Amino acid sequence: MRHVKDIADLERARREIMKGRDPDARVVAICCGTGCIACGGLTVADAFRSEVDSRALASKVRVLTTGCHGFCERGPLVVVQPAGILYQQVKPDDVAEIVETSVEGDDLVERLLYVDSASGEKIVREEDVPFYKHQTRLILGRNGALDPTSVEDYVAIGGYGSLAKALDAMTPDEIVATVKASGLRGRGGGGFSTGRKWESCLKAPGDVRYLICNADEGDPGAYMDRSILEGNPHSVLEGMVIGAFALGVTDGYIYVREEYPLAVANFTRALDDARAAGLLGVNILGTGFSFDVAVARGGGAFVCGESTALMASIEGLPGEPRPKHIHTVERGLRQRPTVLNNVETWANVPLIVDKGAEWFAAIGTEGSKGTKIFSLVGKVNNTGLVEVPMGITLREIIDDIGGGIRGGHSFKAVQTGGPSGGCISEDLLDLPVDFDRLAEAGSMMGSGGMIVMDDRNCMVDIAKYFVGFLKDESCGKCTPCREGLRQMHAILTDITEGRGEERHLDELEYISWGLEQTALCQLGSTAQNPVLTTLRYFRDEYRAHIEEKRCPAGVCKALVTYSVVADACTGCTVCAKKCPSDAIEGEPKKVHGIVQDKCIKCGICYEVCKFDAIAID
């Protein structure tokens, strides 16, 4: 894109881009988010390019590789615009047919359409698919409309218009007031008012301030920040530049997990393009305002999502938190006032500046405004990223958008808020999802992971999983976290391995209390949530492990045995072939049997049996 001289020139530049594009041209948008790439999205995209070339359609058809559309379950996803036809699970072999039928022609490739599992109907348009229909996709919706490596694409849909408006028509104080009035709360987990954070930073003494985008999305089971960074990096950058202008900052940082190489690549590209276009760097849009952003890659430490640890890590030090008697808005990076906001929070800022605080505040509930992106994963039919207004119920998300539990199993729990969150049981499914209501239920919003579990998930095992995770990720600086988690993990291991005792439950609650009261940072002081919520809602499962030495979900190896259901076994021999320890014996077409002495309880026979002939007791 050419260099933009001043604010008025931005609109001219946008018109120039639009003039070069045929509004009626067919666009084939192929999702190349990490999920779809894993399913072969890139080869599908290549197939489309060569198909379009070989049919000499390059001038009439645009092949667009976009970021994540959200419906990762059905990837690779292809959307043909302007009709908005959604093809799912597309293979390279399907490409020629799609180009011939829907790009050159106006027909449909019926077999690639999404079939609604409830009604059995084929659905043509992306927006009519139940997964998308119940969402409000303010942020994610734009992912499907642009190539993340193209600043032109972002400008074409009105991108950087909010920045122009902020620089041209608003004072820094007005921007802060607008963000405050919108009710935007931090999307990274804490849910602190973004406007108030900015205000406190402005009031803190000192001329030099810093601004950071927290893209260290460490919560396992959450990947919305990754998808925004990969799919629409300029939206985050625009938010940061607006924030920098409001706060009088000249140096910004983005701290990205090293597990997200594509996000690093796309954001770095966005920085270069924006600098070249005059939207970042020295003298932005000719206004004399200067601001630049540096990328810092993380080192794979969960605790670096914590503000003080993150800042230590940017300074090249080990990511160990410090006590926060003095907040980072007063003394953060290099002891200077620092504003740290999460990716999704920054991506919301341009929307608020563009459409106004009232518009934003009209979405959501009284205490939680706007939309929130959740990663709906686990045992639901439609996994993926969903963006919904605050206040929607868990049941709507899981049943209407997620399409219910997969494989005919029954719902048991939903885990929200990552390792610091909690597990919520079925009787709370009508809970409206907002910051405060989730906290009341003992969980938290967190960064938006939503992991659905069914009757085959053991809640003691899940509690052990989270405690084990945090035990490994504890930086070891403070004793309650380092030692408390180790003891809790030992107790939970005892319970899952059949050595549970009555006193263990009290001990877990006692250590939890100690952690909450005394740990140095949020990693430790919220680490008890998964244990306390599972104890609160699923105490019966703990009791079954302790008193009856039984794992009701059939997960805890020491407490289960595998056996063949004689009536169901057809003697197909699949299990015997797959068994890694040769523990299954039997002749073809006769009922098989498991030799318990040899069985290592790996569960492969259960997974591979097509006749439900393996029982777990």
Q: Which residues bind other proteins (CB under 8 A)?
A: 34-35, 37-39, 72-73, 75, 217-223, 226-227, 258-261, 296-302, 313-320, 323, 375, 377-379, 383-385, 415, 418-419, 449, 451-453, 457, 462, 465-466, 469, 473, 475, 478-479, 578, 580, 602-604, 607-608
Sequential DSSP letters for 117-151 = TTT--EE-BGGGSHHHHT---TTGGGGGGS-TT-H
Token pair 């009035």 is found at: 181
Tell me how far the alpha carbon of residue 77 is from its chain's centroid. 18
13 vs 222 by CB, closer to other proteins: 222
My answer on whether omega of the bond before 220 falls inside 30° of 0, hence cis, is: no
* Token output for 261: 């190489």
As measured in angstroms, the least distance from the Cβ of 36 to other proteins is: 9
Choice between 270 and 405, CB closer to other proteins? 405
Nearer to other proteins, 348 or 474 (CB): 474
Q: What whole-number distance in Å separates Cα of residue 305 and Cα of residue 299?
A: 11
40: which 2 tokens? 């072969």
Q: 10 Å Cβ neighbour count for 225?
A: 31
Tell me the closest approach of the beta carbon of residue 140 to other proteins, in angstroms: 13
Question: Rounded to the nearest whole angstrom, what is the least distance from the CB of residue 5 to other proteins in the complex?
Answer: 31
Q: Shortest approach of other proteins to residue 167 CB, angstroms?
A: 30
- Which CB, 350 or 384, lies closer to other proteins? 384
Helix (H, G, I), strand (E, B) or coil at 39: coil
Nearer to other proteins, 239 or 449 (CB): 449
Provide CB contacts within 8 A for 315, sequence distance 6+. 333, 334
Terminal C-alpha separation, the chain: 64
Q: How far is the CB of 233 from other proteins (least distance, A)?
A: 15
Closest CA to 28 of 147, 134, 142: 147
Q: Whole-number minimum distance, CB 131 to other proteins, in Å? A: 11
The neighbouring-strand residues paired with 453 are 413
Give the span between the Cα atoms of 117 and 381, in whole angstroms: 9
- Closest separation between CB of residue 40 and other proteins, Å? 10
Which of 152, 461 has the CB closer to other proteins? 461
Q: What angle do CA 507, 511, 514 make, to 5 degrees?
A: 145
Residue-wise DSSP of 564-595: E-TTT-----HHHHH-TT--EE--TTS--EE-
- The CA distances from residue 208 to 82, 160, 252, 481, 607, in Å, are 48, 25, 11, 34, 59
Q: Specify the residue, 177 or 615, whose C-beta has the smaller distance to other proteins.
A: 615
Q: In the bound complex, what is the minimum distance in angstroms from residue 164's beta carbon to other proteins?
A: 32
User: 3-class SS at 353?
Assistant: helix
Query: Among residues 80 and 314, whose Cβ is nearest to other proteins?
Result: 314
Contact 259, 226 (CB under 8 A): no
Shortest gap between Cβ of 362 and other proteins (angstroms)?
31
Short-list 74, 54, 352, 334, CA closest to 211: 334
Write the CB contacts of 463 (distance below 8 Å, at least 6 apart in sequence).
492, 530, 531, 534, 535
Q: Computed over its alpha carbons, how large is the radius of gyration of the chain?
A: 26
Q: What is d(CA 534, CA 528) in angstroms, rounded to the nearest whole number?
A: 10
Minimum Å distance from CB 439 to other proteins?
Answer: 19
Phi, psi of 30, rounded to the nearest 5 degrees: -105, 125
Smallest gap, in angstroms, from Cβ of residue 61 to other proteins? 28
Q: What residue type is assigned to position 324 of the chain?
A: K
Give 328: exposed, middle or buried? Use CB within 10 Å, 0-12, 13-18, 19+: buried
Nearest to 168 by CA among 18, 48, 6: 6
The position carrying tokens 């790009």 is 103
User: What one-character DSSP code corresponds to residue 106?
Assistant: S
Least gap, CB of 148 to other proteins (angstroms): 15
Whether 559 contacts 606, CB under 8 Å: no
What DSSP character marks residue 340? Answer: E
Residue 477 vs 486, nearer CB to other proteins: 477
82 cis-preceded (ω within 30 degrees of 0): yes
Q: From the DSSP assignment, how many helices (H) and strands (E) are in the chain?
A: 25, 19
In the complex with other proteins, which residue's Cβ is closer, 269 or 456? 456
Nearer to other proteins, 349 or 405 (CB): 405
Q: C-beta of 309: minimal distance to other proteins in Å?
A: 10
Q: How far is the CB of 160 from other proteins (least distance, A)?
A: 27
Q: Closer to other proteins at the Cβ: 217 or 399?
A: 217
Q: For residues 229 and 266, is the Cβ–Cβ distance under 8 A?
A: yes
What letter would DSSP give residue 405? B
- Distance of closest approach, residue 261 Cβ to other proteins, in angstroms: 8
Smallest separation (angstroms) from other proteins to the CB of 512? 19
